[in-house]
Amino acid sequence: MQPLKPRLMTCRGRDFLWGTRTFIMGIINMTPDSFAGDGFTTDISSALDKAIEFEAMGADIIDIGAESTRPGHSAVSVDEELGRLLPAIDAILPRVNLPISIDTYKPQVAKRALEAGASMVNDVWGVREDTEMLELAASKQIPIVIMHNQLKPSYVDPVKDVIASLKATTNMALQCGIEGKNIIIDPGFGFGKTADHNIEIMRRLFEFKNLPYPLLIGTSRKSTLGLISDVPVNERLEGTIATVALSVANGADIVRVHDVREALRASQVADAIVRNWRPNHWVK
Active-site amino acid positions: 222, 256
| Among candidate residues 37, 104, 116, the one with its CA nearest the CA of residue 66 | 104
| Among candidate residues 106, 100, 133, 105, the one with its CA nearest the CA of residue 118 | 100
Burial level of 169, CB count in 10 A (0-12/13-18/19+)? buried
Strands (E), the chain: 7-11, 14-18, 23-29, 61-65, 100-103, 120-123, 144-147, 183-186, 216-217, 254-257
CB 162 within 8 A of CB 188: yes
Strands (E), 71-189: 100-103, 120-123, 144-147, 183-186
Helix (H, G, I), strand (E, B), or coil: what is residue 192? coil
Q: Indicate the pairing of strand 216-217 with strand 254-257.
A: parallel
* Residue 22 main-chain phi, psi, to 5 deg: -90, 135
